[in-house]
Structure 1
């Protein structure tokens, strides 16, 4: 009879640990969703800005791709403004391919969202 009591206690402990781990995972996921929505709303409320700049760096980041999972590639460009301030923005793959380090032009962005880069041809 004593053995059955121990089994019940182990089962209860397992349930409690499972509940805590599941709860923590749910909290982290909810926080991520809230952060993403907040960034989107902030970008939506921001004004459209146009600034002269120079392209100083480009990079990619690949996530996933192991086993049966597909990989996703994210593209980033760093722009340097006339005062020396820099900003890195995520861009579409097509924009990434058309913009070259050293290009000068007008950057159009809204919050942290890249909108457009218009290259200025120097004579």
Structure 2
């Protein structure tokens, strides 16, 4: 053999340690990015602007789990997004909850309230009654 058996006891712990450092580093970066976004949103003014809903989309994520002994578990989660167009022509997409997503339709006109990248609400304007 090219390597003595002692080298495995030296290399493997180093590789495992590097793996833990990388995973911990990725988790730490994710936490820091979340805090920065939260701080950014909190520092922005709350704005209410006239807007039009131009698009809606959802994204379904499925997770498959195998618990052994032939037991399988599937978990699905759905994220909902709505794209608004403001008077300047700019478009903004926000993540919304399922109830809000279901109550709003493409073409709805109203007042969008947001803070930075945080969606706060949409008040739909009533159409005048025809008669």
User: Normalised by the size of structure 2, how large is the TM-score?
Assistant: 0.84
Partner of 1:39: 37
Larger mean Cα displacement after TM superposition, 104-113 or 59-68: 59-68
Partner of 1:90: 95
Gaps of 5+ in 1: none
Question: Deviations for 1:15-69, whole angstroms, at most 9, x for unmatched residues?
Answer: 1111111111110110001111111122122110011111011111223432235
> How far off its partner does 1:84 sit?
1.1
Number of residue pairs the alignment of both structures matches: 121
Runs of 4+ in 1 over 6 A off after TM superposition: none
Partner of 2:70: none
Higher strand share: 2
Matches within 5 A, 1:23-34: 23-34=21-32
2: CA distance, partners of 1:112 / 1:15: 43
Higher helix share: 1
User: Normalised by the size of structure 1, how large is the TM-score?
Assistant: 0.89
Gaps of 5+ in 2: 66-72
Question: Equivalent of 2:58, from 45, 57, 60?
Answer: 60
Over aligned residue pairs, what C-alpha RMSD do you find?
1.8
Partner of 1:12: 10
